[in-house]
Structure 1
Amino acid sequence: MQSRISLKAVQAFEAAARLSSFALAAEELFVTPSAVSHQIKLLEEQYGVRLFHRVHRAVVLTDAGRIYAEEVCASFAKIEKATRELGRTAKSDILTIHSTPSFATQWLMPRLARFSAMEPDIDVRLNASYPAPADLLTQGVDIEIRYGTQRLQPAGTMVLLFPLEVIVPLCSPVLANGEHPIRVPEDLRHHALIHSEVGQVSWRDWMRQHRKVQLDISRGPRFDRSFMAISAAVDGLGVCLDSLLLAQRELKTGRLIAPLGLTGPKVQGYTFNLLKSRAELPKIRIFQDWLFEELESSSLADRTLPRT
Structure 2
Amino acid sequence: MPSLKSLQAFEAAARRGSFAAAADELHVTASAISHQIRFLEQEVGVSLFHRNTRTIALTDAGDSYFHNISEAFTMMEAGTREIERRGKSDILTVHSVPSFATQWLMPRLARFSAQHSSIDVRLYASADPVDLNAGLVDVDIRYGSVLPSRGVTTISLPDEAVIALCSPDLLKRSPHPIREPADLQYQTLIHSEVNLLTWYGWAKLHGDIRLDLDRGPRFDRSFMSISTAVDGHGICLESHILVEKELQTGRLVKLFGDERDMVACHSISMLKAKQNVPKVKAFQTWILEELKLSKAT
TM-score range, shorter chain: 0.7 to 0.9
User: Does residue 162 of structure 2 align to residue 167 of structure 1?
Assistant: yes
1:177 partner SS: helix
AA aligned opposite 1:224: D
CA shift in 2, pair 1:75/1:143, >3 Å: closer
- AA aligned opposite 2:152: G
Deviations 1:32-61 (A, max 9, x none): 1222233334555764536245454xx342
1:93 maps to what in 2?
90
CA distance in 2, matches of 1:212, 1:149: 26
Specify which of 261, 268, 278 is matched with residue 272 of structure 1: 268
Task: Select the residue among 246, 252, 255 that pairs with 2:248.
Answer: 252
Asked if 2 retains the 8 angstrom alpha-carbon contact of 1:176 and 1:259, the reply is no
CA contact under 8 A between 2:203 and 2:210: conserved in structure 1?
yes
**Farther-moved stretch of structure 1 (229-238 vs 273-282):** 273-282
1:180/1:190 contact within 8 Å kept? no
What CA distance in whole angstroms lies between the structure 1 residues aligned with 2:219 and 2:38? 76
TM-score after normalising by structure 1? 0.85
Asked if structure 2 preserves the Cα contact closer than 8 Å seen for 1:19 and 1:25, the reply is yes
Q: Who is 2:49 aligned against?
A: 51
Contact 1:151 1:158 (8 Å CA) reproduced? no
1:230 is aligned with what amino acid? I
Percent identity between matched residues is: 47
Deviation track 1:264-303 (CA, whole Å, cap 9, x = no partner) reads 211111112222222211111100111011101112xx2x
Distance 1:75 1:201 in 2: 57
Structure 1 stretch displaced more, 196-205 or 61-70: 61-70
Residue 139 (structure 2) aligns with: 143
Residues 1:24 and 2:21 are matched in the alignment: yes
Match status 1:283 vs 2:287: no
CA gap of 1:98–1:9, structure 2 versus 1, over 3 A, is closer
- Alpha-carbon deviation of 1:216? 1.3
Residue 200 of structure 2 contacts residue 213 of structure 2 at CA under 8 Å; is this kept in 1? yes
Question: Residue by residue, what CA displacement relative to the aligned partner does 1:187-217 show, whole Å, maximum 9, x if unpaired?
Answer: 4233211111122222222323444853211
Superposition CA RMSD, Å = 2.5
Compared with structure 1, are the counterparts of its residues 7 and 116 closer, same or farther at alpha carbon in structure 2 (3 Å cutoff)?
A: closer
Q: In the alignment, what sits opposite 1:177? A: 172
CA–CA separation in structure 1 for the residues paired with 2:11 and 2:146: 57
Instruction: Kindly indicate whether the alpha-carbon contact (under 8 Å) linking 1:175 and 1:181 is maintained by their aligned counterparts in 2.
Output: no
Match of 1:9 among 3, 6, 14: 6
Instruction: Tell me if 1:242 matches 2:228.
Output: no
1:108 to 105, 109, 121: 105
Q: Distance in 1 between matches of 2:212 and 2:289?
A: 40
C-alpha separation in 2, matches of 1:44 and 1:108: 58
Flag structure 2 segments of 5+ consecutive residues without an equivalent: none
Paired letter, 2:239: S
Q: Deviations over 1:65-123 (max 9, x none)?
A: 55543443333222222223234446222222221111111111111111122212212
> For the Cα contact (< 8 Å) 1:189–1:216, is it kept in 2?
yes
Partner SS for 1:113: helix
Separation of aligned partners in 1, 2:41 and 2:202 = 85
The aligned runs of 1:24-43 (5 Å cut-off) are 24-43=21-40
| Equivalent AA in structure 1 for residue 220 of structure 2 | D
Give the match for residue 156 of structure 1. 152
* Range with greater deviation from structure 2 (260-269 or 285-294): 260-269
Q: When the two structures are aligned, how many residues end up with a matched partner? A: 294
Residue type at the aligned position of 1:117:
A
